[in-house]
Structure 1
Amino acid sequence: MNRKTALFLIHGWLMATTLFAQNGVLVFQSDFGLKDGAVSAMKGVAMGVSPNLKIFDLTHEIPAYNIWEAAYRLLQTAPYYPKGTVFVSVCDPGVGTDRKSVVLLTQSGHYVVTPDNGTLTLIAEKMGIREVREIDEAVNCLRNSDESYTFHGRDVYAYTGARLAARAITFVQVGRKLPPEVKKIPYQQPVLEKGILKGTIPVLDVQYGNVWSNIPKPLVTKLGVKTGAKVQVRIYSKTEKVFDDRVALVNTFGESNEGENVAYFNSLLNFSVAVNMGNFAEKYKVSSGPDWRIEVEK
């Protein structure tokens, strides 16, 4: 190797190291809830690694075992954090089984520490996969926890995430490199087919019962629908139709009457439906996830 090539490689390594350097920010998500000390224990482990970490909560109210919602909440939040942020997501009904424990580095420079059980479905799709590494639990595991098989959130994920965020380890030291792919949950992609918009209901606006879809505003525009017009909205649970009615598309809830069904674009600029000053999901018994579909037609 000549000097020019060596310098080029060193420069490239330094640029990559800077571009994807961990920034000391650690964000936790889980389905643990806050009724007991599980979340606090994970934070305690992280602080034991470095008291200088900046620790935040994404949410700990993921419905129990709901891997899909964990995937969605990650995508909803991660893009708003700076590159180098480390996310620890623990929704792990398969804890103790042979599912892999991994760290994903996105193309945007974010790290996600999680079981590879579908949690990475949307992050991988929308933010891209730069590299995936399997956590070497012989090294990256809380000391004296090797006989505990049911709290990997504390013993493996919080510990590894904290060490990575604090730069106590490099990404390479997480463990062996895996192929750039993750386990994915199948769902209805947003499409416009023969004058009908089709999508999934990835999540509910849980505080108000509004129903969010993954159909982006440009597709609605492509359908030829403008604000003030009414559209036919159909909602399905698998093959069962649970809602079928015409709904006005509004910019704000103030453009409709209390108790009226409306369509609008949510904070992610995706097509959504609601009851003004009411709870659409509760009223029509609508839930969310990959088994729930929505169609929109002029």
Structure 2
Amino acid sequence: MHLALRLVLLLTLLAALPAVGAEPSAPTPSPAQPTVIFMTDFGQRDDSVAICKGAMLGLEPRLRIIDLSHDVEPYSVLDGARFLAGTAPYYPAGTVFVTVIDPGVGSERRALVAKTKRGQFFVLPDNGLTTLLEHQEGITEVRNITNAAWHFSPNLSSTFHGRDVFAPVGARLARGDDWTQVGPPITDWQRLNIPQVKLTDTALNGTVLAIEHPFGNLVTNADGALLAKLGYQRGDTARVTFGKGRELRVPLVTTFSAVPVGKPLMYVDSRGRVAFAVNQGHFAQQNSVKPLTTFVLRRK
């Protein structure tokens, strides 16, 4: 019996060895960890963010939740739209973005899931948050969340749809549930009214999208490549007017310290857009500029 046992063990070890000349087998890839990118204007002073995360993790404990921001300017759909468009390109297909900037919570506004050409999903209220994504990423389909089975519970709060609607829908999508079951497709979702950049023979007409906090830099909707079409190169001085204000003269530079402290400048920001700042100052306050202020940048 002892000899027979040794023979069985030897045959087992030989069977486990790869055949001569055989390629080693590739390791079996582990499934991607389901990921939710979470953004709200809730702030961090109370338990709202943690409650929403709990609603998601209760449905999918493997979930990885990445905080985009919870300090979005309260009620600022435009800022939310800007942050979604700025963040989406850095995450893979299948990522789910849950956004709760929802001044119309409890009203007749719809709750949506939007799918982009990149294959990402965006769970959010129907108030214009998809506007910049649509221009940048392309949206293939939008569905109205009407299936109550996807909610946190049958009884919805009238003021906390982050917990009751958006969080559970995001978690179900991230774990692989069939997104077409959330509700019917729609085509009339809301868009923000953001004027498009216009380039004429004499000037560029654009819009300030946001004030970059806390520094006061202006974020615009103008692509930095348009500066060359206006004839500008680094070191040139540009003439620009914001709203009905006076014309300013600002140098085109690559970074803030290229001008003395307290002096204004124009540059192309990290996302490739035309931007304005004051070195160690607050451009928006100094020039009374707010989001959606129009500007005219004269040709060189």
TM range (shorter): 0.7 to 0.9
Say if 1:87 and 1:243 are closer, same or farther in 2 by CA, change over 3 A.
farther
- How far off its partner does 1:257 sit? 1.0
For 1:172, the equivalent position in structure 2 comes to: 180
Name which of 235, 238, 243 aligns with 2:242: 235
- What do the CA deviations read for 1:94-147 (whole angstroms, capped 9, x no partner)? 111111111000011111001111111111121111111111242111125x14
For 2:296, the equivalent position in structure 1 comes to: 295
Gaps of 5+ in 1: 1-20
Instruction: Tell me if 1:161 matches 2:170.
Output: yes
Contact 1:22 1:166 in 2 (8 A): no
- How far off its partner does 1:23 sit? 5.8
For 1:10, the equivalent position in structure 2 comes to: none
Deviating beyond 4 angstroms after TM superposition, the runs of 4 or more aligned structure 1 residues are none
- How far off its partner does 1:247 sit? 0.6
Relative contact order higher in (CA < 8 Å, ≥ 6 apart): 1
Name which of 68, 73, 94 aligns with 1:58: 68
User: Residues 244-263 of structure 1 correspond to what in structure 2 (within 5 A)?
Assistant: 244-263=247-266
Q: Distance in 2 between matches of 1:52 and 1:98?
A: 34
Q: How many residues end up aligned between the 2 structures?
A: 269
Q: Distance in 2 between matches of 1:22 and 1:114?
A: 23
User: Residues 143-222 of structure 1 correspond to what in structure 2 (within 5 A)?
Assistant: 143-144=153-154, 146-167=155-176, 169-179=177-187, 181-222=188-229
- How far off its partner does 1:251 sit? 1.3
For 1:223, the equivalent position in structure 2 comes to: 230
Contact 2:33 2:63 in 1 (8 A): no
Q: Distance in 1 between matches of 2:32 and 2:137?
A: 17
Say if 1:188 and 1:174 are closer, same or farther in 2 by CA, change over 3 A.
same
Give me the identity figure in percent. Answer: 38
Contact 2:277 2:283 in 1 (8 A): yes
Q: Give the secondary structure class of the aligned counterpart of 2:276.
A: strand
Q: Distance in 2 between matches of 1:153 and 1:147?
A: 10
TM-score by length of 1: 0.86
Say if 1:243 and 1:86 are closer, same or farther in 2 by CA, change over 3 A.
farther
Q: Give the secondary structure class of the aligned counterpart of 2:150.
A: coil
Gaps of 5+ in 2: 1-30
TM-score by length of 2: 0.86
Q: Give the secondary structure class of the aligned counterpart of 1:162.
A: helix
- How far off its partner does 1:51 sit? 1.3
Letter in 1 for 2:117: Q
- How far off its partner does 1:282 sit? 2.2
User: Residues 271-282 of structure 1 correspond to what in structure 2 (within 5 A)?
Assistant: 271-282=274-285
Q: Distance in 2 between matches of 1:48 and 1:33?
A: 22
Q: Distance in 1 between matches of 2:166 and 2:32?
A: 16
Higher strand proportion (structure 1 or 2):
1
Contact 2:130 2:191 in 1 (8 A): yes
For 2:21, the equivalent position in structure 1 comes to: none
Letter in 2 for 1:153: G
Q: Distance in 2 between matches of 1:95 and 1:137?
A: 18
For 1:7, the equivalent position in structure 2 comes to: none
Instruction: Tell me if 1:100 matches 2:101.
Output: no
Contact 1:23 1:84 in 2 (8 A): no
Q: Distance in 1 between matches of 2:179 and 2:156?
A: 26
Letter in 1 for 2:40: S
- How far off its partner does 1:284 sit? 2.0
For 1:5, the equivalent position in structure 2 comes to: none
Q: Distance in 1 between matches of 2:247 and 2:175?
A: 51
Contact 1:137 1:156 in 2 (8 A): no
Q: Distance in 2 between matches of 1:170 and 1:277?
A: 50
Instruction: Tell me if 1:48 matches 2:41.
Output: no
For 1:124, the equivalent position in structure 2 comes to: 134
